[in-house]
Amino acid sequence: MRNFKFLTLFSTLIIAMLFLSSCSDDSDPISGETPKTSIRVIHASYDAPAVDILINDGASGITNLAYTETSGYAEIDAGTYNIKVVAAGTTSPAVIDADLTFAQDQSYTILAVGSLADGSITAILDTDDRGANASQAKVRAIHASPDAPAVDIRVGDGNGPAVFSGAPFQGITDYIAVDAADYSFAITPAGANAEVRLYEPISVAAGNVYTVVAHGTLDETDDSPFSVRVFVDNGDGNVAVDLVNSTSNVLVVHGSPDAPGVDLLVDENVVNAAALTFPNNTGYLPVNAGDRNFKVNVSGTPTTVIDVTPNLDRAANYTVFAANFVAGIEPVLLADDLTAPAAGNAHVRFVHLSPDAPNVDITLTDGTVVFGDRAFKSATDFTPLAAGTYDLQARVAGTTTVALNLPGIALEAGKIYTVFANGALANLNASIIVNN
């Protein structure tokens, strides 16, 4: 009886060993199926062409993947693979050649980041937590902009709470849970409040899993400006939406009577095609909201005569005057209220930009004061006036002494105007800008 039990046990062990040996090393011993994993590739190298992804030097099905695009999730056998990234339609040279290990029942995102031109292009990899949270959203961030410093991503504006802090280039944050809502986000240098970018609100939905990728460069003269794309990790992982920059409109006026023609630089980039000369203006320029650096340089030179960094509100309008004689040239920044005038009216404001002129009243020819006692660099609010043609005068404040006649000023219903006195007192003049 004892021998029979031994033989039975021995036979059972032999059968089990034969069964296990019939399975491959990567197979599930129960089902016999090969364990699977899911991978997704995101092209985030701003100067690389469309690419093919080769797995173990074979065809992968991931072909012609362009900058900022994703392959979506593809299921492959779990294990270690050689991953090559090559220009679309080729097999060599490989701009990325890496051995990567993918575990069973996991999802992964691979990003090609860095610059092809300087040889810094590389692959970064992270495990994706795609399990949905029915009551909240899950979000992580990936910094793929090679010339951007470590950053914070904040809610609202640069003074808002940081959702992600100190993310360096190639850094990948953990997922965090956030309540479903519409959020505006700001990107600032790590630990600072100066806004590199502000974005329009985006809806974050409960149950969704998001990967936020900052890509491109801060050098806006290239073809790949700094941008943020939000990928949805649910489903096939092939859905994405771009955050939209919040912008302001800025009009720049050359109001310095003895200054030469100038170049206007916004965040170190020249924005006017030709030299801006006195007393002309640029018209309204769309500028990213937030902390923007403005420089005024003598045209064609690095000589900076104005350097200022105002904080521009979303969807706001501004005028910047280069004021005073060149020896003391300075900026005058005004917020422009472009609310439409009531029917039959125009809106008008006056700006005193004559450096050596005294305070002035703007009057009708009969002495009726329209704008009273304005000092150099001061401005009135936009004021409603009935549409029509006006003969105006600039008088020394509180007197009948006329410094400048302004005959035939035609105000059209619905229009918004800025009238600014300019030039030196000996050659006093006035210019009119139509703000809308």
* Per-residue pLDDT reduced to its tens digit, 71-94: 999 999 999 999 999 999 998 899
The residues, ordered by sequence, that sit 6+ positions from 164 with a Cβ below 8 Å of its Cβ are: 141, 152, 153, 173, 176
Tokens read off for 154: 């904040």
The radius of gyration of the chain from alpha carbons, rounded to an integer in Å, stands at 32
pLDDT range class, residue 19, cuts 50, 70, 90: very low
Which fold does the domain 35-127 belong to in CATH?
A: Immunoglobulin-like (2.60.40)
What span, in angstroms and rounded, lies between the C-alpha atoms of 362 and 359?
10
Question: Mean pLDDT of all residues in the chain?
Answer: 90
What span, in angstroms and rounded, lies between the C-alpha atoms of 167 and 85?
26
| CATH placement of domain 247-336 | 2.60.40
CATH architecture of 339-436: Sandwich (2.60)
Local structure of 82: helix, strand or coil = strand
129-245: what CATH class?
Answer: mainly beta
Whether residue 10 is predicted with pLDDT greater than 80 in this model: the reply is no
- Listed by start position, the domains of the chain span 35-127, 129-245, 247-336, 339-436
What span, in angstroms and rounded, lies between the C-alpha atoms of 416 and 418?
7
Instruction: Report CA dihedral (112, 154, 239, 244) to the nearest 10 degrees.
Output: -100
Q: pTM score, two decimals?
A: 0.77
Shared fold status for 129-245 and 339-436: yes
pLDDT in tens, 290-348: 999 999 999 999 999 999 999 999 999 999 999 999 999 999 999 999 999 999 999 99
DSSP state letter for 237:
S
DSSP lists the bridge partners of residue 330 as: 323
What span, in angstroms and rounded, lies between the C-alpha atoms of 365 and 360?
14
What span, in angstroms and rounded, lies between the C-alpha atoms of 132 and 398?
72
Please indicate whether residue 301 or residue 2 has the higher confidence score (pLDDT): 301
58-67, 115-124, 385-394: range with lowest mean pLDDT: 58-67
Q: pLDDT at position 32, please?
A: 57
